[in-house]
Amino acid sequence: MSKERYVIFLKTFFCYAAIIAIGRLDWWFDNYSNYDLDFSALYMLPLVWFALQKNNNRFIILSACIATAIVWFLADLYSRHPASSMYISLWNCIEGFAVFYSLAYLLYRFRMKRIALSEDHKTLVEEQQKLEIQTKELLLINRQLLDANNEFERLAIVAKEIDNAVMITDKHTNFLWINEGFKRFYNLDMAGLKSKFWNKLLYFHTEKTLLPHLNKCLTEKKMVSFESSHDIDGKKIFTHTTLSPILADDGEISRLIAVDSDITYINEANLKIQQEQEKAEKLLLNILPIKIAQELKEIGQVAPKHFDLASILFTDFTGFTLKCEKLGTEEIVNELNFWFMKFDNIIEKYGLEKIKTIGDSYMCAGGIPIENPEHPVDIVLAALEIIQCLKHYNYLKTQNGEEPWTLRIGLHSGDVIAGIIGDKKFAYDVWGDTVNVAARLEHEGQDMKINISEATYLLIRQYFDCTYRGKIEAKNKGKIDMYFVDGIKEEYSYLVNARLDKTPRQN
C-alpha cells in the first residue's frame, strides 16, 4: 500500500469511528439519560471534516455518507421501541442521507474549486514571473540591438567617409563589399572590380606579394599586413594592406576584411629622407674619416685618441702674397681649389688623411685614424707626387705664358693626439709637438723641396735618397736636424709604379 492510500484509509477510518461514536452517544442519551438531546447535527461534523480533506474523491465521500446514514438509522431504530418506528427511522435515514450527501458534495466541490483556483493562481503567478523574465530579456535584447544598430551606423559612416579603401570577401577571397573610399581610391565599383580581377582578392594584389600573407592569415587566423603597389591611371601607387579574419561562432573564418592605406607619399618622403641621409653621410665622410664618422653616428661623440707614431705633412705656396696682389680674388680661389683637389686625389691614393687647409697651406697626416706601419713611406711618396704634379702643370702654365706655382713641403713623424673637440661644426684635427715641428720644417724648407726631420729620416732612409742639411734653427724649437728627400732609391723604384696603380685605401 502506498503512503497516499494509507493516509486516505486512516482518514476514512477516523471518520467512520467518529460517526459510530456519535451514534452510540445518541443511543445512550435516548435510553438512559433524562435529557432529550438531538445528535443529528453532530453526524455532519465528521463528514464536513472528511469532505474538506485532500486526496478525496466522490466515491469516498459517497461511502462515508452511506455509512453515516446507516449508523444514523440504526441509532434512531434502537432508540425507538415500537416496531412501527422502523419505517420512521428508515425515512429519517433516507432523509439524512440526502442531506448529508448534498452537504458533503457541496463541500467537496467547494474544496475542489478552491484547489483549482489556488492552482490557477499559482500557475498565473508563475506565468507572470516568466513573462517578467521574458520582458527583461526582450528589453536587454532590444537595448543590445539598439547599441548594435548605433555601432553599425557609426561604422557605416566611418566606412563611407574614410579615405582608406575597405573590402570584405568570403573565406575563398570572393568579393562581397567595398566602401566608398575604395571606389574613390581605385576608381572602381563592385562590377568593375569583379570583372577586372575575376572576383578574387588573390588577383587584385600581386600573387607573389599576397599569397604568403594570405596563407598565414587563413592558417593562423590572425591579422597580417603587407605592402604592395598598383598602377592607377598610369600612376604607380604604393599601399599598406591590413588583412583581418572574421571568425564565426564555430571558430572558423567566415569573412576577410582588407583595409588599404595610401603610403605613396610616405614612400616618397622616405626616399627623400634616404637621399638626404646619403648626402649627409657623404658630406660627413668628406669632412671626417670613415671610422670617425661611423663612431660619431653610433655613439654621438668621438673621444680624442693618442697615437704613438704618425706623420704630419704641411705644404705652403711660395710667393702667395704677391700672387694675391696680381690676381683677382675669384682667380686665386679657383687656383687654390684646383691644386687642393689634386692634392686630395694624391693623398687618397696613398691612404693618408686630409686634416685641413689654412689659407694657402695644406695639411695631411699618415698613420691616423687607422694605424699603419707603412705610413712614413706612403706620406713621402705622396709628397714626391705632389712635387711632380706641380712640375707637370707648371710646364703647361709656362707654355701658356702663365706664372708657375711653387711650394715648400715639411714633414715630421712622432706621437700625436687626434680626434674631434666640440659638438658643432665637427672637424677631425691633430694636436701635439709633432704638428708644431712639421710646421717649422715646412717654414724652413725650400721651393719644390721636401724637408723632413731626423725622426722621419730614420723611418724612410732604407727606401729614399736623402741629403743632410745639418742642424737648422727653427722658431721656438732650437736647432733641428733636417734632410731633403731627393727621391726613391734605384733598387726600389719599381715600388713607385706599383703604388701608383693600387686603389685608394679606406680609412
Q: Which domains does the chain have, with CATH numbers?
A: 3-126 (no CATH), 162-262 (3.30.450.20), 303-501 (3.30.70.1230)
Positions in the chain short of pLDDT 70 = 1-115, 148-161, 207, 283-302, 421-425, 495-507
Give the pTM.
Answer: 0.52
CA–CA gap between residue 25 and residue 444 (Å, rounded): 166
229 three-class SS = strand
Say which residues have a Cβ less than 8 Å from residue 225's Cβ, sequence separation at least 6: 213, 240, 241, 242, 243
Task: For residue range 223-246, list pLDDT tens digits in order.
Answer: 999 888 888 877 888 888 999 998
Give CA torsion, residues 450, 451, 456, 457, to 10 deg: 90
Euclidean distance between CA atoms 444 and 258, whole angstroms? 78
Contacts for 100 with CB less than 8 Å, ≥ 6 apart: 43, 44, 47, 65, 68, 69
Q: CB 287: neighbour CB atoms within 10 A? A: 16
Looking at residue 113, its amino acid is K
Number of other CB atoms surrounding residue 197 within 10 Å: 15
Sheet with 253-262, strands from edge to edge, namely 175-178, 165-170, 253-262, 235-247, 224-232
Q: Residue 330: which H helix or E strand, with range?
A: helix 329-349
End-to-end CA distance of the chain: 114
* Amino acid sitting at position 481: D
What pLDDT score does 506 carry?
41
CA dihedral 136, 142, 148, 151 (to 10 degrees): -110
- List the one residue out of 305, 303, 309 whose CA is nearest residue 415: 309
Grid coordinates in use for 411? 714633414
Instruction: Give the whole-angstrom CA distance, residue 218 versus residue 380.
Output: 70
**Dihedrals φ, ψ of 243, to 5°?**
-110, 115
Task: Report how far residue 43's alpha carbon sits from residue 96's, in angstroms, rounded to the nearest whole number.
Answer: 9
